[in-house]
Structure 1
Amino acid sequence: MTQILNVTRNDGGQFEITDQRGKVVEGPFETNAAAWKALDRLDNNDHPPPRSKGNKKVLWGKPGRTKSKKGRRKEKKLKEKQDHRMKVNAAKAPTWVRSVAAAKFDPAGERAYRDHKLGTFGAASEVRRIDPAEYLAEKARRGEI
């Protein structure tokens, strides 16, 4: 015979699971949701769902090769095709996108480019070592003054 269970509220304001005669089966619970969850759990214990054959134990660290040789070849070919498309699309990218990407992925290269762009105006520049008297004498010799 099937047992009928109900969720009822007791005098203390808490929820309990009772049978047809009013006898407490489980509880008390703080919330109605907790009581219903317990009721579902009790119901599922009485009639467990049939176990699916697809639920197999997972052996971590041991990759299973379920695909055929043809499937693996097809996957490899697809990956190579995607890699090639990615390279082609990267080459078609606008210059500013490529420069930003180069700066992000190669900071040393960006630094070298920046230093090269500075040219001879750095701290070790010849311009900084010019004597003002010598510069004025050279300018006078040319007749620019």
Structure 2
Amino acid sequence: MSARVLNVIRNDDGQFEITDQRGKVVEGPFDTNAAAWSALDRIDHETMPGRPRSNKKVLWGKPEKPAKRNGKKAGRRQAAKDEHRMKANAAKAPGWVRSVAAAKFDPAGERKFRDYKLGTFGAATEVKRIDPATYLAEKAARGE
């Protein structure tokens, strides 16, 4: 099998052509360089052995799936599946992740914890007034 060398060149009219190594026009003329190169790719794929390649445009990202007929029922089923998957994944999470998530999503528990941390002290607690002279007299009486 001999390999053909093909080139894209610009002719005198400003259009693009595909030529072989002897300068003979294989295909063309094309208005744009891009059109000439896509034709060259098509020729390469036709002559190359291997799997056939489609000429479809590439869709970037995920293509949208067509809508199903029974949308309401399928939507409910999908929501139930998603709910189950979330619960299963939450159960598999490490302990520290679960404790952080519990604190974030359990405001009553967070409040209880905060109150427990504060103890009996808070903004409403009366402040005990200490007279320095009385305090020093009591300290001297104890012998400290």
- Normalising by the residue count of structure 2, what TM-score does the alignment of the two structures yield? 0.37
